[in-house]
Chains A and B, each alone.
Chain A
Amino acid sequence: MIKVEGLYKEFKLSKKQKQDRGSNSDVAIAVDNVSFECKPGQIFSLLGPNGAGKTTTLRMISTMITPTRGKIEICGLDVKKNPNEARKKIGFLTGSTGLYERLTPDELLKYFADLNDVPKEKFLERKEHFYTLLNMHDFKSKKIGQLSTGMKQKVSITRTMIHDPEVVVFDEPTAGLDVITAENIITLIRNCKTENKTVIFSSHIMTEVDLLCDDLAIIAKGKLVYSDSMSNFRSNMQEKTLTGEFIRIVQTSSIN
């Protein structure tokens, strides 16, 4: 369960940034009073154009950065008050997630399992489960730097899931990946749903959203401009395509 209430984030601007933006303000508002809820066993999609505040929102949810104002709860835990406890419940994956290239998948997974206090037996069991599921046995002892993009993505997925998180955050997880590698991610997101996990993901690709999500929210210029279920989104569409409808909502919000 993720509960976001009145989330607000501003960044201080340097002199150069102020000049570049032609702004007199000392701060830039990245997320402005955003509230939503993601339920277990459901996939929540966060949509928005570039620079809308999706990544900032997801980074706040995954405790990487702290909100200026507002509240985030992960499975009932306030991320500001109990960041480490909240982190144990979160799995985080982006399309551009880097891996320690000088380690082997075995060593990397052990590292993250240890950081997450996963008991040895559970770690071995989960590791074996993912090695079999994603066909990783052949390269488990190879250095990650020697692996293909697809293999690396499998390692990333396993790293995200090794501690069996209740909440999984995906920030544009398929961006820049080929179709086959992206398919692994899609499968993972689906599996998370069947395992009753809470999933939130951001994406640009409307077909992906249509295929996966139960609820969606659209943010533009830091503000929440739409939040409803996917079925309501489809039935209330004023445009012919999902992409067309998404563009219409974003454009209408900028006029308003």
Chain B
Amino acid sequence: MKKIIIIAKKEFLDILRDRRTLIRMILIPLLVFPLIMNIVTRIQASQAEKQAEKELTIGYTLNGQSSEMIDRMSEAPHYKFQEYTDTSSLRQDVASKKVNIGIIYSAHFFTDYNLGQQAEYDILYRGADYEDYERFGKLLTTEDSILVDKRMKSLNLAYSYILPTKANEQNLSPLKEIIGKYAGGLLPYIFMAFCFMGCMLPAIDLFAGEKERGTIETLLTAPVNRAQILIGKMIVVTSFGLLSATVALVGLFASLNMFDMNPELKQSINEILSPQLIVTLYLLLIPLALFFAGVMIPISVYSRSFKEAQSILTPLNIVMVLPAMAGFFPGVELDYTTAFIPIVNVVLATKSIIAGNADMVLIGITFFSLILLAGLSVLISLRQFSKESMVLR
């Protein structure tokens, strides 16, 4: 054990002095979420502001009808109304973006309205600028309500006459459960992706890197056996995977509290990140990180150089992280089959804990299957690391 600690201590020191590794394993995971949140909220806010202040030009053809609707709508700010006598010019101008929206009244619009029939008008818009149509749609809805109200009054009827029922919706699901169901896959996905990335650089550096630099020979002549060297290094690889994932979680937590958000949503997210969830997540992630290390180390031992190991392990990133996306698909849940599938089981188990409907038997199966897998991957790594042809390749 003493030798394992000596090796692990030295490897920690060595890795912590590598600026490239530190940037990729600590700085990027820490800053990625605050940066993304910052950029996204800034872009969203500036886009919403721009959209609200943008003057929309509405072209219309009255076809001999009264302009009372247009007159009312033109009082709304940031709108400009422009009359057209011929519909084809209006169509052309909407298509060529000279006008944002076009309205063409039917020649008997108000006659139909006064007769209690449906009065029709055409709306011309471009689907590519759907946000303009959406914004103008709100104005049209208001206008529509005015016309309905007028008609009901003329008939001496209350507005509710045409709305015979009113459903009072009551959502009994706590917000936490909704978040768990629809976004619960995101947290373990983030955790796993960063855990994988965090394991990768030390795994490459401590095996392929050591071979390339020619330091492995001196280590092999020191009075330590291969298992001690492997375990010492594996502790470091696994720890950096967990460190990277933790730092990413801290970054995510900080960014959620840093930016403006619905207070109820914020409270629910903070409730989700409870100590119980964090402990369970780590219990599942420690064997998973060991499994990641156990997959990467044999590849790194096989590789002649840092570059070769990196070229093999980088595509593996996709293979390992893809199953983590299982959490995003509705209907995929933790059961007696998925609990045995590595990565998928961690995502689904975490998702069920977040949603508050975790089955402890399935969580237990997930944990023990991961332990088994981690043990197996350690044995494979040891076998590979004990092969002379691999280590001194």
In the complex, A128 has a CB within 8 A of chain B: no
Known: A12-B389, A59-B392. A115 touches B214 (CB 8 A): no
Which residues from chain B contact A63 at a C-beta distance below 8 Å?
220-221
Per DSSP, chain B at the interface is: helix
How far is it, in angstroms, between the C-alpha of A159 and the C-alpha of B388 when the chains are bound? 24
Question: Chain A 139-178 against B: per-residue CB contact (8 Å), 1 yes, 0 no?
Answer: 0000100000000000000010000000000000000000
In the complex, B275 has a CB within 8 A of chain A: no
Question: Chain B 214-245 against A: per-residue CB contact (8 Å), 1 yes, 0 no?
Answer: 11011011111100000000000000000000
Count the A residues whose beta carbon is within 8 Å of the partner chain — how many?
A: 33
How far is it, in angstroms, between the C-alpha of A117 and the C-alpha of B2 when the chains are bound? 10
Query: Which chain B residue has the least Cβ–Cβ distance from A111?
Result: B10
In the complex, B17 has a CB within 8 A of chain A: yes
In the complex, B6 has a CB within 8 A of chain A: yes
**B213 & A98 in contact (Cβ 8 Å cutoff):** yes
Question: Chain A 18-38 against B: per-residue CB contact (8 Å), 1 yes, 0 no?
Answer: 000000000000000000000
Which residues from chain A contact B13 at a C-beta distance below 8 Å?
102-103, 107
In the complex, B14 has a CB within 8 A of chain A: yes
How far is it, in angstroms, between the C-alpha of A143 and the C-alpha of B17 when the chains are bound? 10
**A112 & B222 in contact (Cβ 8 Å cutoff):** yes
In the complex, B3 has a CB within 8 A of chain A: yes
In the complex, B55 has a CB within 8 A of chain A: no
Interface-side segment among A80-88, A179-187, A218-226, A237-245: A80-88
How far is it, in angstroms, between the C-alpha of A100 and the C-alpha of B13 when the chains are bound? 11
**A114 & B18 in contact (Cβ 8 Å cutoff):** no
Contact partner, A64, options B3, B7, B213, B220, Cβ 8 Å: B220
**B3 & A115 in contact (Cβ 8 Å cutoff):** yes
Which residues from chain A contact B6 at a C-beta distance below 8 Å?
111, 114-115
Q: How far is the CB of B278 from chain A (nearest CB, A)?
A: 32
In the complex, A97 has a CB within 8 A of chain B: yes
Which residues from chain B contact A98 at a C-beta distance below 8 Å?
213-215, 217-218
Known: A101-B213, A111-B10, A115-B3. A84 touches B220 (CB 8 A): no
Chain B residues 170 to 229 lying within 8 A of chain A, measured CB to CB, are 213-215, 217-218, 220-225
**B223 & A84 in contact (Cβ 8 Å cutoff):** yes
Which residues from chain B contact A11 at a C-beta distance below 8 Å?
389
Which residues from chain B contact A97 at a C-beta distance below 8 Å?
214-215, 217-218
How far is it, in angstroms, between the C-alpha of A87 and the C-alpha of B388 when the chains are bound? 17
Contact partner, B215, options A84, A100, A114, Cβ 8 Å: A100
**B17 & A90 in contact (Cβ 8 Å cutoff):** no
How far is it, in angstroms, between the C-alpha of A66 and the C-alpha of B217 when the chains are bound? 14
Which residues from chain A contact B223 at a C-beta distance below 8 Å?
84-85, 87-88, 115-117
Question: Chain A 89-126 against B: per-residue CB contact (8 Å), 1 yes, 0 no?
Answer: 01010101111111100010001101111000000000
How far is it, in angstroms, between the C-alpha of A102 and the C-alpha of B214 when the chains are bound? 14
Question: Chain B 5-16 against A: per-residue CB contact (8 Å), 1 yes, 0 no?
Answer: 011001001100
Q: How far is the CB of B48 from chain A (nearest CB, A)?
A: 49
Q: Besides the contacts A64-B217, A103-B14, what 19 more A-B pairs have beta carbons closer than 8 Å?
A: A12-B389, A63-B221, A64-B388, A66-B388, A83-B225, A87-B222, A87-B223, A90-B221, A92-B217, A92-B218, A94-B217, A97-B215, A97-B217, A98-B218, A103-B10, A107-B10, A114-B6, A115-B222, A117-B223
Q: Which 8 A-B pairs have the closest CB atoms?
A: A98-B214, A87-B223, A102-B17, A98-B213, A98-B215, A92-B221, A115-B222, A84-B223
- Can you identify 5 A-B contacts, CB atoms within 8 angstroms? A64-B220, A97-B215, A97-B217, A103-B10, A143-B17
